[in-house]
Amino acid sequence: MNLKGIVPRTWRRLKRVLLVLIVAQFVYIVILKWVNPPITLTMISSWFSLWGTDKKFHKTWVSYDEISQHAKLAVIASEDQLFPDHDGFDYKSIEKAMKHNQSSKKIRGASTISQQVAKNVFLWQGRSWIRKGLEVYFTFMIEKIWGKQRILEMYLNVAQTGDGIFGVEAASREYYGKSAAMLNREEAAMIAACLPNPVKYTVNPPARITAWRQRKILVQMRNLAPDLDIMELVTGRK
């Protein structure tokens, strides 16, 4: 066996595979600027977790214009108030979270909406340096290629909003029997309130912590956009 010949051939093949993967993921990112992802790893995991139970998997995609302005504002107020202004990362929050996590057993996150979308659409759940590094890469790419409106639309459709429930449309139908376009301020805030832990922070009936978070979110919604001009808030357009 000629090891001197095998090693270079293996390296050349590995480089070709890596090149194909790099090109493929870039093309996939570009495609998703206009095409909706059929499913995510988180959804698949949730679907398997419901296997053998009486619970059903719910997922319905709706376009940006078919989502209540209240819902868009509520998730920004709840999850990422600097979303219109940052480049995908909230560096001050990241620094605060790192300092907190060094001295506390309770881990605090600092993920922006963009980072959550990158994780939910392209990656898996969990805490590892490899996954976090990939999350940084995909966050940078979607900020550059998709833009804020598409990122927010994607978030409102892929975020888990209950046990086996994904997206604001599925949540609105399940909890309130109406489309996401018809959500009022209080309903939108209640759905947004469940996002940190959608299985534990139940919406219907509302857990105590969900109701508490809803009240806080409603205050922040009024502070952020009292006139509900969400397009100006997200894109800077007037």
Q: Smallest Cα–Cα separation from 209: which of 197, 224, 226, 218?
A: 197
Looking at residue 237, what is its pLDDT? 45
- Tell me the three state secondary structure of residue 181: helix
> What whole-number distance in Å separates Cα of residue 145 and Cα of residue 182?
30
Is the distance from CB of 78 to CB of 52 less than 8 angstroms? no
Local confidence pLDDT in tens for the 238 residues of the chain: 555 667 677 778 888 888 888 899 999 999 999 999 989 988 998 888 888 888 889 999 999 999 999 999 999 999 999 999 899 888 888 787 767 566 666 665 678 999 999 999 998 887 788 888 999 999 999 999 999 999 999 999 999 999 999 999 999 999 999 999 999 999 999 999 999 999 999 999 999 999 999 999 999 999 987 655 665 556 544 3
162: phi > 0 → left, psi -120 to 50 → alpha, else beta; which? left
3-state secondary structure of 165: strand
Report d(CA 18, CA 180) in Å as an integer. 41
Q: Which position has the token pair 């927010």? A: 152
Contact 148, 235 (CB under 8 A): yes
Sheet containing strand 160-162, edge to edge, reads 58-59, 165-166, 160-162
- Tell me how crowded residue 128 is: count the other CB atoms within 10 A of its CB: 9
Q: Which SS3 state, helix, strand or coil, does residue 171 take? A: helix
**Can you list the alpha helix ranges (DSSP code H) found in 88-225?**
91-103, 113-122, 129-145, 148-158, 168-176, 185-193, 208-224
Total residue count of the chain as it appears in this document: 238
Res 18: pLDDT: 86
Q: How many helices (H) and strands (E) does the chain have?
A: 11, 3
Structure token digits, residue 5: 């010949």
User: What's the pTM value of the predicted model, to 2 decimals?
Assistant: 0.86
Dig out the tokens for 48 from the structure.
């398997």
What pLDDT, on a 0 to 100 scale, did the predictor assign at position 16?
Answer: 87
pLDDT for position 230: 60
